[in-house]
Amino acid sequence: NDAAPGAERIAVYQAQSDQAYQRRIRLARDLRYAAQHHELSAVFQPKLDLASGEVRQVEALMRWQHSQLGMIRPDEFIPLAEQTGSITMLTEWMIVAVLSQLRDWIDRGIHLQVAMNLSARDLDDPEFPRRVERMLRAQQISPDYLALEVTESAVMRDPQASIDSLLVLRDLGISLSVDDYGTGYSSLATLKSLPVQDLKIDKSFVLQLAENSDDAVIVKSTIELAHNMGLRVIAEGIENAGSLAWLKARHCDVVQGYFISRPLSAADLERWMDETRGTFV
Ligand code: C2E
Ligand code: MG
Ligand code: MG
Ligand code: MG
């Protein structure tokens, strides 16, 4: 009798972790068919250039609308896809989606650079850069319309292979960014060796920027470090006017966050750009 409450808690915990496990198994399996079942889509979040007040770039982010389980967030399915190997297929799906969106925009006189996220496996694959080159050529899209975002941890899995791939991609004329900067374990030496143009400060340092003095110190020094290394700085996770003003005063180059806009479908993005051009600076 004494042990009953504890045992009950353990039973509840086991039921929950069992459920979480079952969900992971199911998602891992269904993910393999998500593309064929037309359950994937791309949304686009504007990146605001603070000097000009213009949006010239967007980040493409993947969405998975599961037929029974509803919308699954990338923070849940991307790590699963990385573990199971489905990520290669998801990246391929995303490149096709981004390039066909770009083709459509360019044909209609809309000139935006689109960034997409890569995973460690994409960077470790020595064929990847040439595949991207072929796909750009097939759609007749100039490489400077495309940007690729890589995290420090993705690079660190196989730094040499990653840097080799990044060099080829950069030489093609594709823009490269380090994503989620500050959350990984790479050194300044690694950062220095990466052939990137942009450094994206992780949103965990930006969300409470105006209220948290530790975050403010980190972001301020990161902006200075990046500028001294000749990199452009992008801050993600701008949720209020306070952090926007703060970043502008400290010469951050580009901002991205819910305060500017949430990620939008292509049609909603076009409407948003028509309506809000220039209101933020
Ligand atoms: P990320 O590349 O760092 O993308 C930024 C994430 O922050 C996005 O989440 C975006 O919706 C969210 N975000 C933007 N502004 C704000 C803000 O003001 N406040 C808050 N709280 N969040 C904001 P999302 O779309 O859920 O994606 C999460 C992560 O999943 C991405 O982080 C990226 O690492 C990964 N991901 C998304 N799409 C892809 C993809 O196509 N391929 C790969 N490999 N990874 C992807
Ligand atoms: Mg990103
Ligand atoms: Mg990020
Ligand atoms: Mg992230």
DSSP string, 146-188: EEEEEEHHHHHHSHHHHHHHHHHHHHHT-EEEEEEETSS---H
Q: Which ligand is nearest to the CA of 90?
A: 1
Residue nearest atom 23 of ligand 1, based on CA coordinates: 237
β 232-236/198-201 pair status:
parallel
Atom of ligand 1 lying closest to residue 87 CA:
44
* 183 C-alpha to ligand 4 centroid (Å): 9
Q: What is the pLDDT of residue 3?
A: 55
Q: What is the pLDDT of residue 2?
A: 53
Write out the chain's pLDDT in tens, 281 residues.
555 667 777 777 777 788 899 999 999 999 999 999 999 999 999 999 999 999 999 999 999 999 999 999 999 999 999 999 999 999 999 999 999 999 999 999 999 999 999 999 999 999 999 999 999 999 999 999 999 999 999 999 999 999 999 999 999 999 999 999 988 777 788 888 899 999 999 999 999 998 999 999 999 999 999 999 999 999 999 999 999 999 999 999 999 999 999 999 999 999 999 998 756 65
Task: State which of 236, 244, 269 you would mutate to test the pocket of ligand 1, scoring each by most atoms of that ligand within 8 A of its C-beta.
Answer: 236
Q: Is the CB of 117 under 6 A from ligand 1?
A: yes
Which protein residues have a CB closer than 5 Å to ligand 3 (ion)?
Answer: 179-180
Q: Is 30 in the pocket of ligand 1 (CB under 6 A)?
A: no
CA distances from 257 to 73, 80, 212, 225, 236 (A): 17, 25, 18, 22, 6
Q: Is the CB of 239 under 6 A from ligand 1?
A: yes
Distance of CA 86 to the CA centre of its chain: 18
ipTM: 0.98
pLDDT at 281: 59
- Which atom of ligand 1 is closest in space to residue 74's alpha carbon? 30
Decide: 94 in ligand 1 pocket, CB within 6 A: yes
Closest CA to 218 of 201, 236, 230: 201
Q: What does pTM read for this prediction? A: 0.94
Would you state the pLDDT for residue 11? Answer: 77
Cβ–ligand 1 distance for 47 under 6 Å, the answer no
- Res 7: pLDDT: 77
Q: From the CA of 94, how far away is ligand 1's center (Å)?
A: 14
H helices within the chain, ranges in order? 4-34, 74-84, 87-107, 120-124, 128-138, 152-157, 159-172, 188-193, 213-228, 241-249, 266-276
Nearest CA to ligand 1 atom 19: 237
DSSP state of 143: G
For ligand 1, say whether the CB of 61 is within 6 Å of any of its atoms: yes
